[in-house]
Structure 1
Amino acid sequence: MGFSALVASALCTFLLPLLLFLAAVRLWDLYCASGRDPSCPLPLPPGTMGLPFFGETLQMVLQRRKFLQMKRRKYGFIYKTHLFGRPTVRVMGAENVRHILLGEHRLVSVQWPASVRTILGSGCLSNLHNGQHKHRKKVIMQAFSRDALQHYVPVIQEEVSACLAQWLGAGPCLLVYPEVKRLMFRIAMRILLGFQPRQAGPDSEQQLVEAFEEMIRNLFSLPIDVPFSGLYRGLRARNIIHAKIEENIRAKMARKEPESGYKDALQLLMEHTQGNGEQLNMQELKESATELLFGGHETTASAATSLIAFLGLHHDVLQKVRKELQVKGLLSGPNQEKQLDMEVLEQLKYTGCVIKETLRLSPPVPGGFRIALKTLELNGYQIPKGWNVIYSICDTHDVADLFTDKDEFNPDRFMSPSPEDSSRFSFIPFGGGLRSCVGKEFAKVLLKIFTVELARSCDWQLLNGPPTMKTGPIVYPVDNLPAKFIGFSGQI
């Protein structure tokens, strides 16, 4: 073969595919730019749209925090990208986020990626709109009233105390994050669904925990339902969860009255449906129950794990928590094992500040998804109608001018005056506006009880030092936070 033939062969083999790829990328950029609304004089936000069809989804999924930090440094508080098959604008900063969250139903509406909508289902609270959302939220909120929370306190305390006793006998190394997830799963199953996972046996509980982990790993995936794809695996795991929940629903229907003496969230939903003379929609109930379990255990597990990490790294803060417990008669003596209640928990101001500071530095949910109902203007840019909008919780906390020494773990910053009172969109671990987290008061009570029991029962050492945190989609430690737990001596 002659030299010219070799050159031609090389061009066909390497150069032509490269040129075609570059042409495809250029056409993709032009296509994405054509989404700009010509009736609005403002430009699109800065940013890049990534590869054809895939956009920047793969980079975001693989790199998460590193990818997002790079974007923020390069483009600022508002930038465009292409994620999960949709043109998207990512927004951070208190004022920008306030504009989005207070524009619900007027400027924006909730719309999670297609994979999330498919796996969680159209009947769950996060996918409902307008009157349906308001109505369903009102029903569920009954399960998080102060009276209902009072019923939950002894159940939470019982589960946490039993779990910590096991940790103290676990030996020289315990992987904290998986253990906390199992604890929070049992609590959510008992309180939100009235289900007794211990009675079902350890194998059944472990199967459900593993199914949830598989479902959550694949919530944010490309919307391609073929064997072995992320969406396929997520749906398969969801079906296992739905089958177990349906068993529980049918048992409730046969039993009529709750065994626990209080009505859990699922019971309230069932009674509301039947009370209105509506036909009981099993699929919607299963979807609502799955969503409650997801919100009720994954996020609290993340926050509780971060609490253990921060208190393990800042012994002075742990000692201040213990001093507060001592003042309230909760640390030593005959009151050590006394039952907590809402009144006592509300008096633990510093402990509450420790939880707030944990949620500021390590919010379990990194942000939320919306869709622009019409072309809107934000800080000198346009967001075209139909584009996705992601508001970032973690970045908004990072850039808030309200907080000094942002990287420092300092619960005292929340003592007085409370920062969120003066600028409530600088601190948004539970979101905000009409779609703020329905279970936020439940989460606060659960985390406070967990902190109390942990502080008065255990001392611990983080075996790997400060953890590296990852988002997938909930924030968690890459190494599962190995630690050694010993009993607390009672001396501060």
Structure 2
Amino acid sequence: MGIPILGESLQFLHKKAKFFEEKRKEHGNIYKTHLFGRPTIRISGKKNLEKLFAAENKLLQSLGFFLFQACKAKEELKNLFLKRIKEDGKSCSQQFPAVLEKFCKSQNSEFDNDDLLNGIFELIFNAGETTSTSAMCALIHLSKHPEVLEKLRQELSNVDLLAPPEENNNSEVEVTAEIFSKLPYLDCVYKELLRVTPAVGGAYRRVLKTFELEGYTIPEGWTVVLGIRDTHELDSNLDDPLTFNPDRWMQADSSKISFFPFASGPRRCPGKGYAHLILKLFIIKLCQQCNWTLSEPNPEMVAMPTPRPKNKLMCSFNQREYNKE
């Protein structure tokens, strides 16, 4: 458990994700440690995570690090934004960022000022870091797997999303829900991207009451880290869980694959729908418009705090020429 008070915090800060990897290899899916003054248990495994995510607010509760200060700051910012909206003299609907306006229309509902402000906070604070990380990982995976990129482009071509605008009545095809339903391979690529490189490696919870799991006692008041990345990487249902292979999601038994990039249960990430939309549109635009080259063809990645190249990585973009055969 490490030295008094600090526990194993120094080892964790030095090794980062490798700290958990070494512990897991030595102790298995459930092991205890002591991090930042808290006795901590890390838990991995598909069945374990399904059970515990479903037990939110019964066995576990989301950790409220600096919750009071964060809520107070959020209210102060909301008041500042609301004041600016009123000063502009425009209605709430005229202030919507484009993506929120689209969402509002898709729901066939009217949003008030509070909805607008909550949407802005969702975009700024919850989705920005993780979605940009996943977009970067998409560039890397598709660069390393040109056969996947080619298969994506063929699927887009089948629904006229790869044709130049002048061959499509001089207007770009609008990507509707119906169009998305005709792009099953895009959905496979999206899922595999988040399976291999989940933006969040673990979910931190506090134990509300003592319970048993795999013969271990999980004490009340302890911190639990639900190992999302560990569970993906050690998926016993896959022969090659570390390999980027979107085709695996086309199999009939794909529901058995471990997949928790947005957690699960009552506390599932509220930005799931936003990430789903933005990442798929990003991949579509990449396929439509760009060819790109990485300065390092196979960059070494680190996993914490979010997946990123260990060394500086440059990317050169070129406009893709349409095939007019």
Q: What range is the shorter-chain TM-score in? A: 0.7 to 0.9
| C-alpha distance 248-478 of structure 1, shift in aligned 2 (>3 A) | farther
2:307 to 475, 481, 490: 475
Structural mapping, 1:179-258, within 5 Å: 246-254=79-87, 255-258=90-93
2:53 to 74, 87, 101: 101
| C-alpha distance 329-293 of structure 1, shift in aligned 2 (>3 A) | same
The code of the aligned residue for 1:352 comes to D
- Please give the secondary structure, in 2, of the residue aligned with 1:301: helix
Q: CA deviation at 1:293?
A: 1.9
- Please give the secondary structure, in 2, of the residue aligned with 1:259: helix
Residues 20-53 of structure 1 deviation map (CA, whole Å, 9 limit, x = unaligned): xxxxxxxxxxxxxxxxxxxxxxxxxxxxx22221
- 1:331 corresponds to which residue? 162
Do residues 294 (structure 1) and 125 (structure 2) align?
yes
- 1:457 corresponds to which residue? 289
Q: CA deviation at 1:485?
A: 1.3
C-alpha distance in 1, partners of 2:312/2:122? 24
- 1:308 corresponds to which residue? 139
Q: Which moved more, 1:60-69 or 1:305-314?
A: 60-69
Q: CA deviation at 1:103?
A: 1.2
Q: CA deviation at 1:474?
A: 2.3
Q: CA deviation at 1:96?
A: 1.3
Structural mapping, 1:276-287, within 5 Å: none
| C-alpha distance 373-293 of structure 1, shift in aligned 2 (>3 A) | same
Q: Tell me, yes or no, if the aligned pair for 2:206 and 2:224 is still in contact at 8 Å.
A: yes
Q: Tell me, yes or no, if the aligned pair for 1:345 and 1:445 is still in contact at 8 Å.
A: no
C-alpha distance in 2, partners of 1:295/1:304? 15
C-alpha distance in 2, partners of 1:458/1:245? 38
Q: CA deviation at 1:57?
A: 2.0
- 1:82 corresponds to which residue? 34
| C-alpha distance 344-263 of structure 1, shift in aligned 2 (>3 A) | closer
- Please give the secondary structure, in 1, of the residue aligned with 2:4: coil
Structural mapping, 1:348-363, within 5 Å: 348-363=183-198
- 1:343 corresponds to which residue? 178
Q: Tell me, yes or no, if the aligned pair for 2:44 and 2:228 is still in contact at 8 Å.
A: yes
- Please give the secondary structure, in 2, of the residue aligned with 1:405: coil
The code of the aligned residue for 2:298 comes to P
Q: Tell me, yes or no, if the aligned pair for 1:245 and 1:289 is still in contact at 8 Å.
A: no
Gaps of at least 5 residues in structure 2 are 105-109
C-alpha distance in 2, partners of 1:417/1:253? 53
Q: CA deviation at 1:269?
A: 7.3
Q: Which moved more, 1:64-73 or 1:315-324?
A: 64-73
C-alpha distance in 1, partners of 2:27/2:144? 33
Q: CA deviation at 1:260?
A: 5.0
Residues 185-229 of structure 1 deviation map (CA, whole Å, 9 limit, x = unaligned): xxxxxxxxxxxxxxxxxxxxxxxxxxxxxxxxxxxxxxxxxxxxx
| C-alpha distance 62-106 of structure 1, shift in aligned 2 (>3 A) | same
The code of the aligned residue for 1:367 comes to G
Q: TM-score, normalised by structure 2?
A: 0.85
Residues 402-426 of structure 1 deviation map (CA, whole Å, 9 limit, x = unaligned): 222112211000013262x346xx2
| C-alpha distance 319-447 of structure 1, shift in aligned 2 (>3 A) | same
C-alpha distance in 1, partners of 2:4/2:103? 47
The code of the aligned residue for 1:100 comes to L
- 2:226 corresponds to which residue? 391
Q: CA deviation at 1:58?
A: 2.5
C-alpha distance in 1, partners of 2:61/2:246? 34
Q: Tell me, yes or no, if the aligned pair for 2:85 and 2:95 is still in contact at 8 Å.
A: no
C-alpha distance in 2, partners of 1:358/1:433? 21
| C-alpha distance 408-290 of structure 1, shift in aligned 2 (>3 A) | same
Q: Tell me, yes or no, if the aligned pair for 2:92 and 2:113 is still in contact at 8 Å.
A: no
Q: CA deviation at 1:104?
A: 1.2
| C-alpha distance 480-455 of structure 1, shift in aligned 2 (>3 A) | farther
C-alpha distance in 2, partners of 1:293/1:323? 34
- 2:9 corresponds to which residue? 57
C-alpha distance in 2, partners of 1:386/1:331? 54
- Please give the secondary structure, in 2, of the residue aligned with 1:54: coil
The code of the aligned residue for 1:475 comes to P
- 2:273 corresponds to which residue? 441
C-alpha distance in 1, partners of 2:131/2:230? 20
C-alpha distance in 2, partners of 1:269/1:395? 41
C-alpha distance in 1, partners of 2:71/2:92? 29
C-alpha distance in 2, partners of 1:107/1:244? 33
C-alpha distance in 1, partners of 2:150/2:314? 22
Q: How many residues are matched?
A: 309
C-alpha distance in 2, partners of 1:60/1:394? 16
Gaps of at least 5 residues in structure 1 are 1-48, 124-238, 274-284
C-alpha distance in 1, partners of 2:188/2:205? 30
Which structure has the greater CA radius of gyration? 1
The code of the aligned residue for 1:72 comes to R
- Please give the secondary structure, in 2, of the residue aligned with 1:81: strand
C-alpha distance in 1, partners of 2:312/2:173? 32
Q: CA deviation at 1:252?
A: 2.5
CA-atom RMSD in angstroms:
2.8
| C-alpha distance 272-299 of structure 1, shift in aligned 2 (>3 A) | closer
Structural mapping, 1:369-448, within 5 Å: 369-417=204-252, 419=254, 421-422=255-256, 426-448=258-280
The code of the aligned residue for 1:87 comes to P
